[in-house]
Amino acid sequence: MIKAFDLNKVQLWDGIFKDSQEIGKKYLLDLEVDRLLAPCYEAAGRTPKAPRYGGWESMGISGHALGHWMSASAAMYAATGDKALKERLDYAVVELGELQDKDGYVSGFPRECFDKVFSGDFSAAAFELAGHWVPWYSIHKIYAGLIDAYLFAENQQALDVVCRLADWAKRGTDLLSDELMVKMLITEHGGMNEVFASLYEITKNEDYFNLAVRFSDDSILKPLSQFCDELEGKHANTQIPKIIGAMKIYEQNYAFAEYKDASGFFWDTVTKHRSYVFGGNSNFEHFGKLDTEPLSTQTCETCNSYNMLKLSRMLFLQEQDSKYFEFYENALLNHILASQDPETGMKTYFMATTPGHFKVYCSPYDSFWCCTGTGMENPALYGRDIYYCDDDSLYVNLFISSRLDWSEKGFIILQKTKFPYEESSSIEILDGEGVFELKIREPEWTNVKVSVNGEDIGITDRKGGYVCIRRIWKKGDVIRYVMPMKISLYTAKDDKNAVSFRYGPIVLAGALGRENFPETDILKVHTSLDHHPRIKVPALVTDDKNIENWIRLVDKKTLTFETEAVGMPNNEVVRLLPFFALHHERYTLYWRLYTNSEYSNLSTHEREYEEKLANATVDIVRPNEQQPELDHNMKAENSICGYLSGADCGWRLAMPGGFFSYNMKVNPTEDNYLMVFYWGSDADFCQDGVWYRREFDIFANNIAIGTQKLNREHFDKLISKFYKIPKSVIRGETVEIKFVPKDERSAAGGVFGVRITREIVKRMSE
Same domain, 432 and 403: yes
Q: What is the pLDDT of residues 55-78, one digit of tens each?
A: 999 999 999 999 999 999 999 999
Same domain, 499 and 528: yes
Distance CA 334, CA 317 (A): 23
Same domain, 598 and 675: no
**Torsion sign across C-alpha atoms 759, 763, 765, 766:** negative
Identify whether 456 is part of a domain. yes
Distance CA 388, CA 367 (A): 36
Quote the DSSP letter at residue 5.
P
Same domain, 414 and 475: yes
Mean pLDDT in residue range 503-508: 98
Identify whether 274 is part of a domain. no
Per-residue pLDDT at 688 exceeds 70: yes
Same domain, 478 and 494: no
The total domain count for the chain is 3
Q: Using the 3D structure, point to which of 602, 625, 657 is the last residue of a domain.
A: 602
Per the CB < 8 A criterion, the answer to whether 406 and 412 are in contact is: yes
Identify whether 198 is part of a domain. no
pTM for this model (two decimals): 0.95
Please name the helix (run of DSSP H) or strand (run of DSSP E) that holds residue 133, with its range, or none. Answer: strand 132-133
Per the CB < 8 A criterion, the answer to whether 107 and 36 are in contact is: no
In Å, how far are 49, 103, 117, 181, 265 from 177, measured between CA atoms? 40, 21, 12, 6, 30
Per-residue pLDDT at 637 exceeds 80: yes
Identify whether 608 is part of a domain. no
Q: What is the pLDDT of residues 625-635, one digit of tens each?
A: 988 999 999 99
Give the distance from CA 116 to its chain's centroid: 31
Q: Using the 3D structure, point to which of 580, 602, 624 is the last residue of a domain.
A: 602
Percent of the chain with pLDDT over 70: 100
Residue 764: the pLDDT is: 64
Per the CB < 8 A criterion, the answer to whether 294 and 351 are in contact is: no
Residue 458: the pLDDT is: 79
Distance CA 313, CA 423 (A): 25
Identify whether 405 is part of a domain. yes
Sheet holding 424-431, edge to edge: 10-12, 402-406, 411-416, 424-431, 478-482, 449-452, 455-457
Distance CA 354, CA 375 (A): 22
Show the domain range for 471: 388-482
Distance CA 275, CA 292 (A): 8
Distance CA 613, CA 607 (A): 10
**Mean per-residue pLDDT of the chain:** 96
Same domain, 753 and 619: yes
Cis peptide bond prior to 484, omega within 30° of 0: no
Per-residue pLDDT at 766 exceeds 80: no
Same domain, 640 and 726: yes
SS3 of residue 225 by DSSP = helix
Quote the DSSP letter at residue 335.
I
Q: What is the CATH number of the domain that holds 410?
A: 2.60.40.1180
Mean pLDDT in residue range 503-524: 97
Same domain, 439 and 496: no
Per the CB < 8 A criterion, the answer to whether 61 and 118 are in contact is: no
315 phi and psi, to 5 degrees? -70, -35
Identify whether 205 is part of a domain. no
Q: Give the per-residue SS3 of 556-618.
A: CCCCEEEECCCEECCCECCEEEEHHHCCCCEEECCEEEECHHHHHCCCCHHHHHHHHHHHHEE
716 phi and psi, to 5 degrees? 50, 50
SS3 of residue 498 by DSSP = strand
Write the burial class of residue 596 (CB in 10 Å: 0-12 exposed, 13-18 middle, 19+ buried).
Answer: exposed
Quote the DSSP letter at residue 347.
B
Per the CB < 8 A criterion, the answer to whether 102 and 34 are in contact is: no
Q: How many other CB atoms are there within 10 angstroms of residue 410's CB atom?
A: 10
Alpha helices in 490-531, H assignment, sequence order: none
What band does 729 get if pLDDT is binned at 50, 70 and 90? Answer: very high
In Å, how far are 63, 308, 651 from 324, measured between CA atoms? 33, 10, 36
Same domain, 551 and 595: yes
Q: What is the pLDDT of residues 611-622, one digit of tens each?
A: 899 999 999 999
Residue 765: the pLDDT is: 61
Per-residue pLDDT at 82 exceeds 70: yes
Per the CB < 8 A criterion, the answer to whether 607 and 738 are in contact is: no
Mean pLDDT in residue range 345-364: 98
What band does 460 get if pLDDT is binned at 50, 70 and 90? Answer: confident
CA angle (205 as vertex; 203, 225 as ends), nearest 5 = 100
Identify whether 221 is part of a domain. no
Same domain, 641 and 746: yes
Mean pLDDT in residue range 198-224: 98
What band does 653 get if pLDDT is binned at 50, 70 and 90? Answer: very high
700 phi and psi, to 5 degrees? -120, 115
Per-residue pLDDT at 575 exceeds 80: yes
Q: What is the CATH number of the domain that holds 632?
A: 2.60.120.260
Same domain, 529 and 654: no
Sheet holding 393-396, edge to edge: 3-4, 387-389, 393-396, 433-441, 466-474, 462-463
Mean pLDDT in residue range 410-436: 97
Mean pLDDT in residue range 206-217: 98
Length of the chain (residues): 766
Residue 351: the pLDDT is: 98
Identify whether 563 is part of a domain. yes
Distance CA 505, CA 22 (A): 24
Q: Using the 3D structure, point to which of 464, 482, 500 is the last residue of a domain.
A: 482
| Among 489, 495, 589, 490, residue whose Cα is nearest residue 292 | 495
Same domain, 636 and 729: yes
| Among 232, 67, 80, 51, residue whose Cα is nearest residue 139 | 67
